[in-house]
Structure 1
Amino acid sequence: MTILKTVNVSKRFGKFAALDGVNMEVKSGEVFGFIGPNGAGKSTTIRILLGILKASEGDATIFGMDAWKNAVEIHKRLSYVPGDVNLWPNLTGGEVIDLFMMMRGSSNQKRREELIEKFDLDPSKKCRTYSKGNRQKVALVAAFSSDADLFILDEPTSGLDPLMEKVFQDCIIDAKRAGKSVLLSSHILSEVERLCDRVGIIRQGKIIETGTLQELRHLTRTNLLVETKQPVTALHELKGVHDLTTKDQALSFQVDPEELDAVMKYVSQFGLLRLESSPPKLEDLFMRHYETDTGAGGAS
């Protein structure tokens, strides 16, 4: 079942097109990774989904309801955590968590206490005394204490140390096990790779790739490290070979998936002594999409 869907969503600010026909779908019980550099359109898309901005064109629906017209009804079943949390300075962290829980009609005090302990948060301190990381913790505890059906998280681990990032990842896994849906916007590719069922990559306001990690990996190059008895000649002339370098008498290079068989047959003629292969990572795909833009002064 589809929980969240955008169809040809565009957003213009004057002559500037922040979004240009964004199509995205998040299914029930799915963790969907939404990645792209700053300025690519992630936060604009999320603001439209939250009903903060109205799309210039297209449709955005959550739980089958219009994200703009039915925002109040949608927010009863939704939890949102931004990348930079602003809290009431004179309230304590615990009071803010309780306020958010009350607004959602949630009263799971046991879950609240468990999360406060896991995130190592002192709820008795005033919010004005909190660091950025502690403000994020307050928002995360409030979000995951609720019984929301959908979590929209925009760079939620910004300011958290690695130990707290692990706690956050455990919360996502728990939410998924409970059948909840998650839209996770993140610049930490390892986090996306570890948690997400499917990924959408946005560039300059357009979704350029969407699919499961397995589906996306076939588009990326395999990393190889090869050492042979005899020097390999003319490897750089073979189709599908990229970034060839010599490293401690071994050759390091990348191979396009469709040329891997031919390259391996060619290299094996020189007598293999060592062969190391590492699978393509999400980061490889991400960088391949952006390397052309950086050369042209685009997004990086």
Structure 2
Amino acid sequence: MSQAIVVQSLTKKFGSREVLHGIDFTVERGTVFGVIGPNGAGKTTTMRCLLDIIRPSSGSSLVLGEDPRRAGPELRRRIGYLPGELFLEGRITGRKLLSHYEAISGPVKRGHIDALAERLDLDLDRHTRKLSKGNRQKLGLVQAFMHDPELLVLDEPTSGLDPLVQQEFLAMVKESRNRGQTIFLSSHVLSEVQQAADEVAILRDGHIVTVASVARLRESAVRHVRLSATGISADDAGAMLRRVPGIARLEVLDSGDGVELSATLEGAIQPLLHVLSGLQLTDLVLEEPDLEESVLKMYGSLAGNGVRP
């Protein structure tokens, strides 16, 4: 089976409140799949259903080819899981706690735990009650990665980590993918998903807005354009830019010895470059695609289609 996760019409209700509204998605083996959305979007609920921590109200899912409701401990040993809210026993060192997890998850390669702890700058001999939030998160990451599982399910994995450790975590994710492992992670921080994921599902209020590759999101992303040109009036320059498909928020300023323009571009850049070739440019800045603006735009289109945002 080429898919590590298959979800069909998954619904979850807590009492009369429905928090997942029949979502569908698949995760290919050996890829990094990110789920992004604001707090309360349903990311954690989705993960808990996949791991049989909670049961869905309707719909189905397959995880590594198995129904998680029936597969039992054998399936769970093939998965590394980091919960969004990590609770650790406080009267034990990190090393002893990981030894306990190893007895549950299966054998760990000799020296692998120490190597992971060193990468994350984690002291395994401190009692967990003395660990900061960031160090507790590091301990959670070590227990998820240490047995080289087929599938990693990571809920808000960089919460509490400083930027350097975040980058080390992203390196660990890429290495795991290169070894053929599958990573399913959630976040409300778009930049980390952008760096790590091959494919992204955008979730809001229990609805999937879209599922797309990061490359496709970039193609449709909002870019910011700033330029200066000479030999043309502000009116003429503005008229030229307005002919470019996807140009919005255009501002034109007559600077005395030329014009300065700023705008946003939603779409392909080739038509813009074609128009700019007819200008005498003195400066041009085309900023990296802003995926966050694109995601917010998708949220808006969801609301416009009659779905509660």
The two structures have a TM-score, normalised by structure 2, of: 0.87
Q: CA deviation at 1:289?
A: 2.1
Greater than 6 Å deviation, 4+ residue runs: 292-296
Residue identity in the other structure for 1:242: A
Q: CA deviation at 1:169?
A: 1.2
CA distance in 1, matches of 2:210, 2:282: 38
Q: Which residue of 1 aligns with 2:149?
A: 148
Q: Which residue of 2 aligns with 1:275?
A: 284
Residue identity in the other structure for 1:122: D
Q: Which residue of 1 aligns with 2:102?
A: 101
CA distance in 2, matches of 1:281, 1:68: 40
Change beyond 3 A, Cα 1:69–1:246: farther
Corresponding position: 1:177 with 2:186:
no
CA distance in 1, matches of 2:292, 2:148: 33
Q: CA deviation at 1:261?
A: 5.0
Q: CA deviation at 1:187?
A: 2.2
Q: CA deviation at 1:231?
A: 3.4
Corresponding position: 1:29 with 2:35:
no
Q: Is the 8 A contact 1:21 1:58 kept in 2?
A: yes
CA distance in 2, matches of 1:71, 1:251: 61
Give SS of 1:287's match: helix
Give SS of 2:9's match: strand
Percent of aligned pairs sharing the same letter = 33
CA distance in 2, matches of 1:209, 1:69: 30
Corresponding position: 1:3 with 2:13:
no
Q: Which residue of 2 aligns with 1:243?
A: 249
Change beyond 3 A, Cα 1:246–1:44: farther
| Number of aligned residue pairs | 297
Deviates more, 1:81-90 or 1:280-289: 280-289
CA distance in 1, matches of 2:103, 2:162: 29
Deviates more, 1:2-11 or 1:269-278: 269-278
Unmatched 5+ residue regions in structure 2? none
Unmatched 5+ residue regions in structure 1? none
Residue identity in the other structure for 1:104: S
Residue identity in the other structure for 2:70: K
CA distance in 2, matches of 1:155, 1:103: 23
Q: Which residue of 2 aligns with 1:253?
A: 263
Deviates more, 1:83-92 or 1:242-251: 242-251
Give SS of 2:234's match: coil
- Provide, for residues 129-151 of structure 1, a one-character-per-residue CA deviation record: whole Å limited to 9, x for no partner: 11111111111111111121000
Change beyond 3 A, Cα 1:159–1:111: same
Q: Which residue of 1 aligns with 2:233?
A: 231
Give SS of 1:54's match: coil
Q: Is the 8 A contact 1:84 1:132 kept in 2?
A: no
CA distance in 2, matches of 1:83, 1:293: 26
CA distance in 2, matches of 1:87, 1:185: 21
CA distance in 2, matches of 1:17, 1:242: 37
Q: Which residue of 2 aligns with 1:117?
A: 118
Residue identity in the other structure for 2:294: L
Q: Is the 8 A contact 1:31 1:182 kept in 2?
A: yes
CA distance in 2, matches of 1:111, 1:281: 38
CA distance in 1, matches of 2:82, 2:296: 27
Q: CA deviation at 1:279?
A: 4.0
Q: Is the 8 A contact 1:223 1:253 kept in 2?
A: yes
CA distance in 2, matches of 1:94, 1:71: 27
Q: CA deviation at 1:8?
A: 1.0
- Provide, for residues 24-62 of structure 1, a one-character-per-residue CA deviation record: whole Å limited to 9, x for no partner: 111111011111111111111111011011111111110
Deviates more, 1:212-221 or 1:179-188: 212-221
Q: Which residue of 2 aligns with 1:78?
A: 79
Residue identity in the other structure for 1:231: S
Deviates more, 1:229-238 or 1:69-78: 229-238
Q: CA deviation at 1:68?
A: 2.1
CA distance in 1, matches of 2:297, 2:290: 11
CA distance in 1, matches of 2:277, 2:148: 57
CA distance in 1, matches of 2:234, 2:100: 67
The 5 A counterparts of 1:190-209 are 190-209=191-210
